[in-house]
Structure 1
Amino acid sequence: MGYQALYRVWRPQRFEDLVGQKMITQTLKNAIATGQTSHAYLFTGPRGTGKTSAAKIFAKALNCHHQENGEPCNNCDICRAITEGRLNDVIEIDAASNNSVDEVRDIRDKVKYAPTQADYKVYIIDEVHMLSSGAFNALLKTLEEPPANVVFILATTEPHKIPATIISRTQRFDFRRIDMRDIYERMVYILDQKKLNYEEKALKVIAKAAAGGMRDALSILDQALSFGGGEVTLQNALLVTGSVTQDKLKNYLQKIFTHQTAEALDELQSILEEGKDANRFIEDVIDYYRNLLIFKTAPEMLEKEEITEDFKSLAENTDAKVLYGAIDILNQQQQNMRFSTHTDVYLEVLTIKLAQLKAEDSVPLTDDAVQTIKKLQEQLKSLQEQFEKLKVAAKSKEIEPMKTKASTRTKAQHRNTPKVDLKKVYPVLTNATRDSLVQLKGIWGDLMTMLSVTQRAMMNITQPVAASENGVIVSFKYDFLCEKAMVDEELIQALNNGLERLVGGKMTLVFITQTQWPKMRQKYLVEHKEELENSGKDDKKEASSTQEDAVISEAEKMFGKDVVEIKED
C-alpha cells in the first residue's frame, strides 16, 4: 500500500486514544461495560474532534466479545473487520451525498433484518444535518423504535439544523475543541513513535493553527514533514501555516504602539510579500493583543516562554483601554475580511486604525452607536427647524393685521394639532388624584432610563400632568413630537412595560400637547359642573353650593390644593 496520511494511520482505535474528550469516552465505556447502551446517539462538535472515530470505536466495543471495561480488543475478527471497513453489519453513510427520502426508506426497509456476523447492526450517518426534511421524517419512526439489535449513531458539525424531534430521540454528546496542549502532546507522541526530528516551537505553531481540530493538526504536520524532508522546523511550520515569526510580529506591533503609521505599513508590506496568509496574520495579531491583556490582569495564565523582556515592557507601558479598543477593531476587521478578496486593503486600513489609536479614544463606536448619533443629529436639526418656524410664526402673528389671515393661520395650526381621544382622557381625569400625579413625577426619570437612546430623545421634554391609578396624561412641548409618539408602537410598548415594572400594574397612556392641556382641563371642569347642576333640581340653592364645592373638591383632588385658587365672580 502507498503512503497514508498521518490522520489515517494514527486514527484512534480505542476510547483512551481519543484526545481531549475524557467525559464522552468515559460515559460510552461505562455504558458498554454495564450493558446500558441506547438505541440512538447524536455526536456533535467541530470538525476533526473525533466524532466518527468515536462512532467506529463504539461499534467495535459493542460487538467485541473480548472487550474489557468498555474497550474493544482490536484483535478479534469482528474488531479487525470494522477497523478495515469490511463488516457488513457496520454501515457508514455520508448524508451529504445520500440525503434523499428514497435512500432513508431503503435503510428503514433493511433495518428489520438481523445482523449477519456481529451482535448489533450499527448505522453511522455522518453529516446528518444534510438530510432533507422528507428524509428526516422517513427516519423518525425507525429512530424512535428500531429493532433491539440495531444502533444508530448520527454525527454532525451543525446540530442546529437537525429537527428537535430527531434530537429528542437520541443521546446527545457534544465534542469540544481540543486543547492546544493536548494536540501538541499527541503530535510529540506520534513523532517520537516515528523517530522523526522536530522543534517544539514548530509543533506549538501547528497546534495553534489547527484551532482545536486534531485532524487539521495532523494534516498540517504532514505538510511540514513533506516540506522539510522528514523534519519539522519552526521555519517550515511558519511557511506551511502562513503564520508570522514572533520577531516580525513584535517589530510590526512596536511601530503600532509608537504611532509610527508609515513604518508599520512598511512592516506589513514586508510580511505580506513573504506570502503570509492575511487571515492567519490577523489571528496572530489578535492572539498577541490577548496575551498582552492577560499579562496585565493575570500573568500566571501565560507560559513563561511567552514573556520576554520586550513583551513585558510593552504590556506595562500600554493602557488596557488601548488593548480593549484594538481587539474590538481587530474583530470587526476580521469579520469584514471574510467576504472580501482584497484582504490586503483591509489589513492596511487596520494598521492605520491601530497606529492612530490612543488611550483617550481607544473605545471605538459600534455601528449601532453611530446610527443612534445620526438619528439624534437629524432630530436636533428637525427641532431647530421647528423652532425657527415658530419664531417666524410668532413675528407674523404680531404684525399681521388682517383677520382673514389670522383665521387661516388658526385653521392651519388646528390641522397640525394632534387629535386627542376624549374617551381616554375623561376616564383618567375622573379618577385623577394628586398622589398619583406625584408618584408618576417621582418615577418619570427612572422610566426614561428604560427607553432606548432615540426614544429617550423624543420623550425628554415631556411630563405627566394628570394621573390616576390606571392612567396617565403626558404633555408634550412640541406638537410634532406628540403626533409622532401617538403612532410609535414601539415607544408606547416600551413605556407600558416600564410603567408596569415601576408601579406594578398596567396604565392607560394619553398623549397631549402643552397647548391642548389647559383647554382640555377647562373643558372637563365645565362639563363636570353642568352635570352636577342637572343632578340637583330639588334644592337649587343647596345644589348650587354643593356642585360648587364638588367642582372645587374635584379640582383640588386632581391638581392639589396648592395649585387651585378660588375667585368670587
Structure 2
Amino acid sequence: MAYQALYRVWRPQTFSDVIGQGVITQTLKNAVASNMTSHAYLFSGPRGTGKTSCAKILAKAVNCLNPHDGEPCNECEICQAANENRLNDVIEIDAASNNGVEEIRDIRDKVKYAPTEAKFKVYIIDEVHMLSQGAFNALLKTLEEPPANVMFILATTEPQKIPATIISRTQSFTFRRISKQDILDRMTYILDDKNIKYDEEGLNIIAASAEGGMRDALSILDQALSYGDDQLTLENAQEVTGALSNDQITAYMSAVANNESAQALESLYKILESGRSAVRFTEMIIRVCRNLILYNSNSDLSEQMDNTIMTKDLLNLANKFDNQRLFYIVDQVSSAQKNLKNSNQTDVYMEILTVKISEPAIKETAVEENPTDNQEVEKLSQQVEKLQSEIKNLSTSNVSNQPERPKKTTRKSKSNHLNRTAIYKVLDNATKNDLSVAKDIWPDLMSKLSVTQRAKMRVADPVAASVDGIVVAFDFELWYEQVQEDSEFLNELSNSASTLLKKDCEIVLVPKDQWPKIRKEYISNNIDLTKNDKVESKAEPKSDPAVDEALNLFGNEIVDIKND
C-alpha cells in the first residue's frame, strides 16, 4: 500500500478522537444519542481544527447501525463503507470548484430521492463561503425545508462571507484553535505508538509553528521525520520550520543588548544566510521580548513565560533590558513586519531594524560624548533660562492691561484619550451575562489577530460588556495608547468581535489603573441623578434603580452604598 500522510492515517474516527473541541463534540454526541440532530449544521473556524473530521464522524454516527452513546461503532457495514469513502449516501462537495448555481440546483433536485443504503443522506459542503450569491440563493430554500431524511453540514474558514439568511437556518459551531499543549500531547502519542525517537524541544517548535492547526502540525512532523530519516531532532525541526536555533537568537539579542550594531548585523547575516525566514525571525524577537518583559515583572507574570525558547543565556540578558527598551524593540519590529509583507527587499528592512534596535540611545548619549559641545549646551541653556525669566517679568507687568485669554493645552492628558461617552454607553446596558459571553469569545478573537497584534493584546481583558459593546482594560498604558491611536487595528477588533457575536459590537479601550475610577464616577453620577429626581416623601423608602443596576453590574463587594 502507498504511504499515507500522518494527518490522513490519524484522522479522528470518533468524536472522542477529536482534539481540543470538547464542547462541540459532546454537544453532537448528545444530539445523536437523543435523536435530536438538526437538518443543517455550520462548522466554522481556522484550518486544521477538525471541521471536516467532525462532519464525517457526524455523518457516520447518524447512520450507524449500532451507535454507542452517540458515537459510531466503526464496525457495522455503514461505518466501514463510510471509512472507506464508498458510502453513496454521504456526499462530499468542494465548494471551491463547484460553486455555481447549476451544481447547487443539481443537489436540490437529488435531495428528493431517498437514501440508497443509510438512514440519512448527508451532504458535506466544504469551504462553503466560496459559493456564488446565486448558488446561495438556490441552496436557501432547500436548507429551510429539506426532506426528513437529508442533512446538510457546511464547513468554512470564513463565516463572515456567508449570508445571514444561510447562517440563520443552521446550527452554528465555532471551532477554536487547538492549544499548543493538546498538539504536543497528540504528536507525542503518535510518535510513541510508532516507536519513533524524538526531541521534546523539536516537538515544541513544530507545535508553535502549527499555530493551532492539528493538520498543519502533523504535516510539519511528517516532513521533519522524512528529513531526519524517521527520527525527530531539534535541528531537523528547526530546518523544516525555518525556526531560529537558540544559539542564533542568543547571539543576536546579546549584540542588541550591548548596543553592538556591527555584531548584531553580523549575526543577522548569518541567520539569513542559513535560510531562515525573516518573518519567523521577527516573530521570535517579539516572543523573546515578551518573555523578558514577563521575567522582569512580578512573579505571577513570570510564570506565564514560554520556557521552551527562554534558555539560561537569554534569561541572563534580562538585566540589560528594562521594559521601556523592550517596548521600543517590539514597536520597531512591529513596524518592520508591515514592510516585510509588502516588499521583496527583506534584507534591507532587517538591516535597518537591526541598527535601530541595537542603537536606541544614540540621541541621549550624543551630547555626553563631546565635552566641548556639552559646555556650549550648558551656556545656551543658561541664556535661554535668562530670556525666559525676562519674558515672564514682562508678561506679569502687562497682565492687568490685557484681557484674560483661555489657556492653550499643548498635550493631552491621559484622561483626554479616554472615550468616556463610549464607555458610559456600554455601562448603561452592561450585564454579567454579556461580560461572560465577551470573555468566552476572547480567545477566538485573539486567534484572528497577527502575532504582533496578539502580543499587544496579551495584557488586555474584557472588564464590562453590553449587547453592543465591550470595554477592554490594558495592564500596561503603553500598549493601551498604541492600540488606541491605531484606528485601523481598533476597527479590526470591533469587526472581529461583531463576526464572532453575529451582531454589531464596538470595542472601547481603557487603562486598567484608571478603570476603577471611571467605574466609580459612572456609579456616582447615576446615583446623584436619581437623587435629584427623587421627590421627598414620608413613605417607606423604595429601592434605588441606579443602586440596583450598580449592584447587578459590579456586585456587593465593589459597590459601597451610603444613605444621606
TM-score of the aligned structures, taking structure 2 as reference length: 0.63
The structural deviation recorded for 1:257 is 1.8
The structural deviation recorded for 1:164 is 1.0
Secondary structure at 2:303's aligned position in 1? helix
Q: Distance in 2 between matches of 1:225 and 1:120?
A: 41
Residue 217 of structure 2 aligns with an amino acid whose one-letter code is A
Q: Distance in 1 between matches of 2:260 and 2:216?
A: 37
Q: 1:78 to 1:349 in 2, by over 3 A?
A: same
Report whether the alignment pairs 1:296 with 2:299. Answer: no
Q: Distance in 2 between matches of 1:24 and 1:68?
A: 18
Contact 2:288–2:310 (Cα < 8 Å) also in 1:
no
The correspondence for 1:319, drawn from 316, 319, 322, is 322
How many residues are treated as equivalent by the alignment?
A: 375
Q: Distance in 1 between matches of 2:36 and 2:318?
A: 54
The structural deviation recorded for 1:340 is 1.8
Residue 73 of structure 1 aligns with an amino acid whose one-letter code is C
Q: Distance in 2 between matches of 1:328 and 1:83?
A: 50
Contact 1:94–1:125 (Cα < 8 Å) also in 2:
yes
Q: Distance in 2 between matches of 1:130 and 1:442?
A: 59
The correspondence for 2:339, drawn from 336, 339, 350, is 336
Contact 1:63–1:118 (Cα < 8 Å) also in 2:
yes
Q: 1:133 to 1:15 in 2, by over 3 A?
A: same
The structural deviation recorded for 1:326 is 1.8
Q: Distance in 1 between matches of 2:154 and 2:63?
A: 18
Q: 1:114 to 1:444 in 2, by over 3 A?
A: farther
Residue in structure 2 matched with residue 218 of structure 1 by the alignment:
218
Q: Distance in 1 between matches of 2:334 and 2:98?
A: 38
The structural deviation recorded for 1:305 is 5.7
Residue in structure 2 matched with residue 202 of structure 1 by the alignment:
202
The correspondence for 2:356, drawn from 345, 353, 356, is 353
The structural deviation recorded for 1:218 is 0.7
| 1:270-289 paired onto structure 2 within 5 Å | 270-289=270-289
Contact 2:291–2:306 (Cα < 8 Å) also in 1:
no
Residue 233 of structure 2 aligns with an amino acid whose one-letter code is T
The structural deviation recorded for 1:314 is 2.0
Q: 1:4 to 1:309 in 2, by over 3 A?
A: closer
| 1:61-80 paired onto structure 2 within 5 Å | 61-80=61-80
Q: 1:227 to 1:307 in 2, by over 3 A?
A: closer
Contact 1:322–1:359 (Cα < 8 Å) also in 2:
no
Identity, % of aligned pairs? 58
Q: Distance in 2 between matches of 1:253 and 1:306?
A: 13
Secondary structure at 1:231's aligned position in 2? coil
Contact 2:223–2:240 (Cα < 8 Å) also in 1:
yes
Q: Distance in 2 between matches of 1:79 and 1:35?
A: 18
Contact 1:28–1:58 (Cα < 8 Å) also in 2:
yes
Contact 2:49–2:214 (Cα < 8 Å) also in 1:
yes
Residue in structure 1 matched with residue 22 of structure 2 by the alignment:
22
Contact 1:60–1:78 (Cα < 8 Å) also in 2:
yes
Residue in structure 1 matched with residue 32 of structure 2 by the alignment:
32
Contact 1:93–1:124 (Cα < 8 Å) also in 2:
yes
Residue 323 of structure 1 aligns with an amino acid whose one-letter code is L
Q: Distance in 2 between matches of 1:360 and 1:75?
A: 74
Secondary structure at 2:115's aligned position in 1? coil
The structural deviation recorded for 1:182 is 0.9
| 1:309-458 paired onto structure 2 within 5 Å | 309-358=312-361
Contact 2:30–2:69 (Cα < 8 Å) also in 1:
yes
Q: Distance in 2 between matches of 1:33 and 1:26?
A: 10
Report whether the alignment pairs 1:60 with 2:60. Answer: yes
Q: Distance in 1 between matches of 2:99 and 2:309?
A: 48
The structural deviation recorded for 1:30 is 1.1
Residue in structure 2 matched with residue 128 of structure 1 by the alignment:
128
Q: 1:260 to 1:138 in 2, by over 3 A?
A: same
Residue 337 of structure 2 aligns with an amino acid whose one-letter code is Q
Secondary structure at 1:232's aligned position in 2? coil
Residue in structure 2 matched with residue 101 of structure 1 by the alignment:
101
| Cα deviation code 1:378-428 (max 9, x no counterpart) | xxxxxxxxxxxxxxxxxxxxxxxxxxxxxxxxxxxxxxxxxxxxxxxxxxx
Secondary structure at 1:66's aligned position in 2? coil
Q: 1:252 to 1:86 in 2, by over 3 A?
A: same
Q: Which has the higher helix share?
A: 1
TM-score of the aligned structures, taking structure 1 as reference length: 0.63
| Cα deviation code 1:233-254 (max 9, x no counterpart) | 1111111111110111011011
The structural deviation recorded for 1:11 is 0.6
Contact 2:204–2:308 (Cα < 8 Å) also in 1:
no
Residue 149 of structure 2 aligns with an amino acid whose one-letter code is N
Residue 317 of structure 2 aligns with an amino acid whose one-letter code is L
Residue in structure 1 matched with residue 237 of structure 2 by the alignment:
237
Residue in structure 2 matched with residue 142 of structure 1 by the alignment:
142
The structural deviation recorded for 1:443 is 13
The structural deviation recorded for 1:212 is 0.9
The structural deviation recorded for 1:4 is 0.6
Q: Distance in 2 between matches of 1:97 and 1:71?
A: 32
Residue in structure 2 matched with residue 500 of structure 1 by the alignment:
none
More displaced stretch, 94-103 vs 67-76 = 67-76
Q: 1:85 to 1:326 in 2, by over 3 A?
A: same
Contact 1:322–1:358 (Cα < 8 Å) also in 2:
no
Q: Distance in 2 between matches of 1:136 and 1:305?
A: 47
Secondary structure at 2:317's aligned position in 1? helix
| Cα deviation code 1:360-393 (max 9, x no counterpart) | 99xxxxxxxxxxxxxxxxxxxxxxxxxxxxxxxx
Secondary structure at 1:301's aligned position in 2? coil
Q: 1:122 to 1:360 in 2, by over 3 A?
A: farther
Contact 1:52–1:155 (Cα < 8 Å) also in 2:
yes
Residue in structure 1 matched with residue 402 of structure 2 by the alignment:
none
Residue 326 of structure 1 aligns with an amino acid whose one-letter code is I
Residue in structure 1 matched with residue 112 of structure 2 by the alignment:
112
Residue in structure 1 matched with residue 85 of structure 2 by the alignment:
85
Secondary structure at 2:108's aligned position in 1? helix
Q: 1:149 to 1:352 in 2, by over 3 A?
A: same
The structural deviation recorded for 1:300 is 1.2
Contact 1:64–1:73 (Cα < 8 Å) also in 2:
yes
Secondary structure at 1:4's aligned position in 2? coil
Q: 1:349 to 1:304 in 2, by over 3 A?
A: closer
Q: 1:81 to 1:162 in 2, by over 3 A?
A: same
Contact 1:143–1:152 (Cα < 8 Å) also in 2:
yes
Q: Distance in 2 between matches of 1:323 and 1:67?
A: 56
Q: 1:232 to 1:308 in 2, by over 3 A?
A: closer
Q: Distance in 2 between matches of 1:103 and 1:35?
A: 30
Residue 107 of structure 2 aligns with an amino acid whose one-letter code is I
The structural deviation recorded for 1:356 is 2.4
Larger Rg: 1
The structural deviation recorded for 1:158 is 0.7
Q: Distance in 1 between matches of 2:362 and 2:81?
A: 64
The structural deviation recorded for 1:205 is 0.9
More displaced stretch, 84-93 vs 324-333 = 324-333
Residue 101 of structure 1 aligns with an amino acid whose one-letter code is V
The structural deviation recorded for 1:191 is 0.7
Q: Distance in 2 between matches of 1:306 and 1:100?
A: 48
The structural deviation recorded for 1:358 is 4.5
In the alignment, structure 2 segments of 5+ residues that lack a partner are 365-404, 418-564
Q: Distance in 1 between matches of 2:407 and 2:61?
A: 67
Residue in structure 1 matched with residue 171 of structure 2 by the alignment:
171
Residue 281 of structure 1 aligns with an amino acid whose one-letter code is F
Q: Distance in 2 between matches of 1:81 and 1:221?
A: 29
The structural deviation recorded for 1:137 is 0.6
Q: Distance in 1 between matches of 2:332 and 2:175?
A: 31
Secondary structure at 2:92's aligned position in 1? strand
